[in-house]
Amino acid sequence: MAIHGRGQTPAYLVEHLVQPLALEHVSFLLPAAPAGSWYPGRFDAPRGDNEPWIGQAIDQCESALGLVEAAGVEPARTVLVGFSQGACLATAVLARRPRPLGGVAILTGALIGPPGDEAVVQCGLDGVPVVVTCSSTDAWVPLERARAAAEAFAAAGADVRFVPRDDPDHRISPGDVASVRELVRQATNGTIRP
């Protein structure tokens, strides 16, 4: 499942993630935010400023993950991906309602809330592979906030890889695509080939 960023639609993820992945026999669930935004403020605004929208967005993502499981796909074969605002939402889903997913990719995202008041990451992420990427020059998500999210997930038991990069553009990079491809391969025991 992949969650798009602010001002985007699932079509952005199709163009910049799904098509570059070029993976056969993989299904993608791409939920859409109402009016293109999951919540109105910045990710680092006081959490109350973005409610009830964050709670509603988490519920929408939970429902989507429930559809995947109801279709017979076990959580260990499911990869959760988010970009930008969608990455911040993915951190909230993982932090508030941990589950044994096959992998999580936080592509230019961080835990929601101002510094020192981010969402608390619950334990129970034992060994879940998590990749957190961010550019050192990103205008929307400071690198140190992405690093803090990586550290919080590692402290909760996830198997975390933090990938800082130098990229002036706020985008899904080729390296991000490669990281997601590797997560999908791990989650499917290497049975998926491009």
**Domain tally for the chain?**
1
pLDDT of 186: 93
Task: Answer whether residue 193 is part of any domain.
Answer: no
How far apart CA 50 and CA 65 sit, in angstroms, is: 22
CA distances from 135 to 103, 106, 138, 143 (A): 21, 12, 5, 6
pTM summary value: 0.94
Task: Answer whether residue 54 is part of any domain.
Answer: yes
- Domain with residue 32: its CATH number is 3.40.50.1820
CA distances from 152 to 50, 57, 91, 158, 180 (A): 21, 21, 10, 9, 20
CA distances from 169 to 11, 50, 67, 68, 101 (A): 19, 26, 34, 32, 29
Task: Answer whether residue 192 is part of any domain.
Answer: no
Task: Answer whether residue 11 is part of any domain.
Answer: yes
Task: Answer whether residue 128 is part of any domain.
Answer: yes
For helices 85-96 and 143-155, what crossing angle results, to 10°?
Answer: 20
pLDDT tens-digit profile, the chain (194 residues): 999 999 999 999 999 999 999 998 899 999 999 999 999 999 999 989 999 999 999 999 999 999 999 999 999 999 999 999 999 999 999 998 888 899 999 999 999 999 887 777 877 888 999 999 999 999 999 999 999 999 999 999 999 999 999 988 999 999 999 999 999 999 988 655 44
pLDDT of 69: 94
pLDDT of 190: 61
Task: Answer whether residue 12 is part of any domain.
Answer: yes
Q: Which residue range is the domain that position 38 belongs to?
A: 2-187
CA nearest neighbour of 107 among 23, 28, 173: 173
Task: Answer whether residue 157 is part of any domain.
Answer: yes
pLDDT of 116: 82
pLDDT of 161: 97
pLDDT of 178: 96
pLDDT of 192: 52
Task: Answer whether residue 123 is part of any domain.
Answer: yes
